[in-house]
Structure 1
Amino acid sequence: MPPQKLELTWFNKDKALIPTETGKYGYTWVDPRDPRYCETHTLTVLETVTGRRNEKRDGVQYGERADLEPQSDNLLIQGESGDVLEALTRVPELRDKYVGKVKCVYIDPPFNTAQTFTHYEDNLEHSVWLTMMRDRLLHLRDLLSEDGSIWVHLDDVENHRMRMLMDEVFGSGNFVTEVVWEKTYSPRNDSKGIPAVTDTILVYRKSDQFSPNRLPRTAEMDGRYKNPDGDIKGAWKSADTTAPLAQERGYFGGIQHPISGELIYPPGSRHWVLSYSRILTSISEYGNYIAVPPSEDSLFRRAQLMGIPVEEVRSDMPDLVLATDPETFPSRSAVDRIESGNWPEMYFSQKSIGRKAHLSEVAGRIAANFLPHSEVGHNDGAIKEIRALFPGQNPFTTPKPERLLERIIHIATNPGDVVLDVFAGSGTTAAVAQKMGRRWVTCELLEDTFNRFTLPRLTKVVNGQDMGGISTSKSERIDDTDNGLPEGMTPDEAQKLTSLLNKAIKEHDDLKKSADIKALKALVKTKNSGDVVNWLGGGGFTVAKLAPSCYDYTPETGYTHLTDAATGETLIASVAANLGFHLSASDPHFSGRRNNEHLAVVEGVLTEAKVGDLMAHLPEGHSILFAATNLDEGVRDVVRSYKNGSRVVHVPLDLFPFGEEEEN
């Protein structure tokens, strides 16, 4: 990626941040080489949650997602987001699984609004906030797949700064869009300024391989398609028969109507949307059509429609007419063809010409950058979703509705892809990803939030005990007419019209029996689509927490030392992770392995006898990296004497060679 010519700068941008207190948003500036910042934390697995899938019931409508295979390869972590991201990108077992393989990142970080919310402190100073986010974005970029995208949810406090920061990290050329979400349907009337009714979601891609998915069609959209002629390809609707004329490409000759005998032309500077050959194939089902040179009347008519002199109209563009006596209209064969049904792509009605667009061939909707609450929900709805899961509690001030995450995850991923969110909160992102057949990784800093809300919610999801949110699609009004609702009228508008009409004729029995009133109601008839169940439960996830720090650093002395937690398996896992070794749990002699190099973690003194014992178990052509908390005098020379490339490091001094003298 080429260097950015424009960068955002801030106080202490060259510094790093470490938490001042476990489990809270509070940070201290340190040198990026500080062991407290450089340490790679490992994960400690606490449990595996396995869900239960409900059985389908008769009489219930089920959506396509209900048939997706529930995912079990998911990870829920309790710990600080920066340390979690370092674990995902540096611990070899996690690095191999996630680096370059996450399809979608959605984060809803602290908005930095100088307010203190119930479950986290949200008053970070701008430079601290920017450094915190910069460090996380760098890891998130590494985790994204080449066709992946990141969605950062913000309000208007840090949005402009975050945009420049993301330009710096991802490259301005990878900016996709700025999505605006209508987060409320009713602005507060007690606001002293201009109330905010929207949030912003910045979207960046990893590379130009990103390709957003189209949105599924709604029942209302599909309801516009009918099948009045019994078409074997299924439901269809009338589509445009013409398109703007581009450099006189396309066919724009007249087509003779087989009922009236009149020539029909594309209006204005347009041509028929279908090619000449496809048009001829279709209309030939109505009679024997032949191409004839345009008459003077035909050229004059074209000139009028196109607004050009007659002499400029192309005379080499033939008209398509029936090879029959003009006195025989309407054509008997055409009438029979219309009445027989299953009309061709370009078809004739009694008075006009049309073109079919089949529902089976129509792609989904293109995703736009405005998300109205009517489509993806709002904050109040999200609060109700959480209250339904945790009755009697009001745990989060601004939760996000499941439909919002559904829209994002649908656009950015496919079933089986990995979705990552490192600010879990109530766990909405992971819950929606699970219901959509995606794999997920998420983490939550606050232990209380994790234990009271995140973990219980996701447990309910996999056990099929959460049927709110996107688990069930609520019914909607859809078209129930024979030929489609009047153009421009929605099913909801049609239902309202019927309701108002019924009220108006309530006291008039004669009008209730009126054929005209009945015909009017038939024109705007709608029905209820019924609720659709999209989630039956199932799948599962692994619950883990960040292992405790094994190393500490005292700035006053410039000395790195082991913590009380640095012992046993915790120490072994930490050393292996920080040195880049995969753990070798089944190996009776060595702690880890990296290609042909084996790791031997020694808690205590590394002696000549210990070296000899381990060398005896070393395969031919391999070497050992001894990592010991204490070294016997001369043991380094002993290891070198084997001349097989083996070496020794002291834990922690050789792991983190950073001291007071290097700061000065």
Structure 2
Amino acid sequence: MTGRLTLTWANKDRALLSHGESGYEWVDRDDPRAREVRLLDEIGRVGEVAGDTSDNLLIRGDSLDALRALVHTPELAAEYRGKVKLVYIDPPFNTGQAFKHYDDSLEHSVWLGMMRERLVLIKELLSPEGSVWVHLDDAEMAYCKVLMDEIFGRQSFVASFVWQKADSPSSNNVPLASYHDFILVYGAGERTFRASAMEDPAVLDAFPGVSDDGVRFRDRLLRKNGKASLRTERPSMWFPIQAPDGEVVFPIDDDGVERRWAYSADSVASLLASNEIIWKRRPKRGGGEQWVPYTREFAPETPTRPWPTLWSDVLMNRQAKAQVKKIVQGVATFDTPKPEQLLERVIKISTGPGDVVLDCFAGSGTTAAVAQKMGRRWVTVELSESTADTFTKPRLTKVVAGEDPGGITEAAGWSGGGGFRDLRIAPSAWEVHTAEGELDVYRAESVSTETLTRSVAAQLGYQLIDDPVFSGARGRSRLAVIDGVADATAVTDIASVLAEGQTALVAATSVTDDAQTTLRDLCKGSRVIRIPRELFPRTTAVTR
């Protein structure tokens, strides 16, 4: 018992297996289906792409499979694990409603399990200064806050933004109308998130003076005012200063209250020596004048102020729906699309040009569209093939072609460019059957030798290589995948081509009794495993 606050729900100790658009199933945590690293198959390209993991990616399929691939597939992990600057997700709110393009009704524990699985992987993807922004309404916000405290740590909480999504009720038949959503923000670590401040030219109004070289400034009292400003609170900062005519000045305010200086004696001495104290004659209480010391503060080149956490100055759902309708014509639009201006603000606060932005609940593709227009790299994931074909891909294609005049296009100066790759999460390489409470795992009939090799390499964390014998590499270890029998002769041939200091991991669909001992004798540290039996080591179930 640690005393740590946690959120508990039914089946929290189990894994939530997604069946795509068909729903979810609770399974044991070591179930192979809950641990499989799926492959991503390219099905198309739009615009200019490099053809590698550095491209913008539209991924079709379940977000959990996509996130697991980004975290565990070596080629993708090298590009994204620990390098994503912003994750913005607008998951199902779990309002109990079924919309035309998605079902927003999940059993409460299923919703929590769904979010937990994804947030754990998102944490792995965030860069040290990255942040995750989760967009919710009242239905699950409070529960998600406790869940995120548990995953990221309460000290990583940054803020809760409130966005005004409507200005009129959708129905007059209810006593209360919700006009706002929440966006929970967490940093990757404790106090690691660095937000960019909001540019505001009005800040310059607080600097009324103008120097000879045209720089705006204001003079601030050297005497401390406000909180912790009394002499008794900081006695060491009560000391005399000599005015230009030799008069001794103490930090006493107009009411005769003894206060303190804003700087230490050493700092004030340094300011005096460098002639940075501004002396002014001011009226004295009871008549006459007195010397009052000031310091001069120059206006910043780029005036900024903190972002407020209440956003009522951004477009609402109604305008966002109209934006999407203009882009994708002739079909019913989403009920709750987010305006590009909202994502522009999120991306502006949390990223810089070239940073990676991830959204694993793509919907109409707003996050990716805005990221493209703002010069960020992006990865977005959409579960529904229909939504990807009808909304996400057409919209992003128009953005790349410069044929999307709405949203932030004009403000961002966007005229088109770049591109993205269209990927689909491959079907599972394995079939799982339950017999007498135990799982039997088999290779799926449709899996070719090439797919088998790629799947094994991804599952074991080996980067694919082009080699006549070996399929993958991980440090000094080499992976050989045999779609057939691994016997003493086969492993002897494999060991013979290893370079000095290298070891081999041989994965085969069938293994003879002497293969293991032969390989170990030939190359210490090498071993043979059986596919799929030892790809998913278990404590209870039997695999074949």
> Is the shorter-chain TM-score for this pair beyond 0.5, marking a shared fold?
yes
Q: Which residue of 2 aligns with 1:37?
A: 34
Aligned to 1:14: 13
Give structure 1 stretches of 5+ with no counterpart.
Answer: 53-70, 257-264, 304-316, 321-344, 347-354, 474-532
- Judge conservation of contact 1:100–1:142 (CA < 8 Å) in 2: yes
Structure-2 residue corresponding to 1:546: 425
**Kept after mapping to 1: 8 A contact 2:495/2:523:** no
Q: Counterparts of 2:272 and 2:66 in 1: how far apart (Å)?
A: 62
Of 427, 433, 453, the residue aligned with 1:572 is 453
* Displacement of 1:615: 2.8
8 Å contact kept, 1:560–1:656: no
Q: CA deviation at 1:537?
A: 1.9
Taking the aligned partners of 1:266 and 1:381, their CA distance within structure 2 comes to: 54
What CA distance in whole angstroms lies between the structure 1 residues aligned with 2:35 and 2:119? 17
1:6-405 matched pairs, under 5 angstroms: 6-20=5-19, 22=20, 24=21, 26-51=23-48, 73-188=55-170, 190-207=172-189, 208-217=191-200, 221=202, 232-233=213-214, 236=216, 245=225, 246-247=229-230, 298=284, 300-301=286-287, 318=291, 358=299, 361-372=301-312, 374=313, 376-405=314-343
Amino acid at match of 1:619: A
Deviation at 1:242, TM superposition (A): 8.7
Pair 241,387 (structure 1): closer, same or farther in 2 beyond 3 Å = farther
Residue pair 2:503, 2:523 contacting (<8 A) in 1 also: no
Deviation, 1:541, is 2.0
State how far apart, in whole Å, the 2-side matches of 1:562 and 1:175 are: 44
Say whether the 8 Å CA contact 1:51–1:464 is kept in structure 2.
Answer: no
1:436 equivalent to 2:433? Answer no
Give, in whole Å, the separation in 2 of the partners of 1:565 and 1:42.
14
2:274 and 2:496 mapped to 1: Cα distance?
84
Distance 1:368 1:411 in 2: 11
Identity of aligned residues (%): 42
Mapped to 2, the partners of 1:404 and 1:120 lie a distance apart of: 22
CA distance in 2, matches of 1:111, 1:141: 21
One-letter code of the match for 1:300? G
1:307 matched residue in structure 2 = none
Residues 640-655 of structure 1: matches in 2 within 5 Å? 640-655=520-535
Structure 1 vs Structure 2 CA RMSD: 3.6
Pick one of 416, 428, 433 that aligns with 1:537: 416
Residue 599 of structure 1 aligns with an amino acid whose one-letter code is L
Q: What does the per-residue CA deviation read over 1:230-263, in whole Å, with 9 as the maximum and x for residues that have no partner?
A: 96436x487877986333679999999xxxxxxx
State the shift of 1:472 in Å.
1.5
* 2:498 equivalent to 1:618: yes
| Counterpart AA for 1:213 | S
**Structure with more contact order per residue of length (Cα contacts < 8 Å, sep ≥ 6):** 1
Contact map agreement 1:592 1:599 (CA 8 A) in 2? yes
Q: Tell me which amino acid in the other structure corresponds to 1:182.
A: Q
Q: Distance in 2 between matches of 1:444 and 1:254?
A: 70
Q: Which amino acid aligns with 2:395?
A: R
Match of 1:593 among 449, 473, 486: 473
CA contact (8 A) 1:224 1:237 kept: no
- SS of the equivalent of 1:44 reads strand
- Aligned equivalent of 2:249: none
Q: Distance in 2 between matches of 1:659 and 1:560?
A: 14
Partner Cα distance (2:536, 2:297) in 1: 71
Structure 1 SS opposite 2:37: coil
Native 8 Å contact 1:266 1:272 kept in 2: no
Moved more, 77-86 or 224-233: 224-233
Q: Is the 8 A contact 1:72 1:541 kept in 2?
A: no
Task: Say if 2:510 is the partner of 1:656.
Answer: no
Rate the CA distance shift 1:273–1:464 in 2: closer, same or farther, 3 A: farther
* Structure 1 position 370, deviation (Å): 0.7
TM-score, L = length of structure 1: 0.70
The TM-score, its normalising length taken from structure 2, stands at 0.84
Matches of residues 410-429 of structure 1 in structure 2 within 5 Å?
A: 410-429=348-367
Change (3 A) 1:227 1:127: closer
Deviation, structure 1 residue 143: 1.0
Kept in 2, the 8 Å contact 1:99–1:143? The answer is yes
- The alignment of Structure 1 onto Structure 2 pairs a total of residues equal to 514
Q: 1:570 to 1:3 in 2, by over 3 A?
A: farther
Give per-residue Cα distances to partners, 1:114-150, cap 9 Å, x unaligned: 1111111111100011011111111111111121111
The alpha-carbon deviation at position 405 of structure 1 amounts to 0.8
Kindly state the Cα deviation for residue 176 of structure 1 after the two structures are TM-superposed: 1.3
Cα distance in 1 for partners of 2:375, 2:180 equals: 29
Unaligned runs of at least 5 residues, structure 2: 232-236, 246-251
The alpha-carbon deviation at position 462 of structure 1 amounts to 1.9
CA shift in 2, pair 1:266/1:394, >3 Å: farther
SS across alignment from 1:634:
helix
Q: Structure 1 residue 227: deviation in Å?
A: 9.9
Task: Give, in whole Å, the separation in 1 of the partners of 2:345 and 2:288.
Answer: 47
- Name the counterpart of 2:517: 637
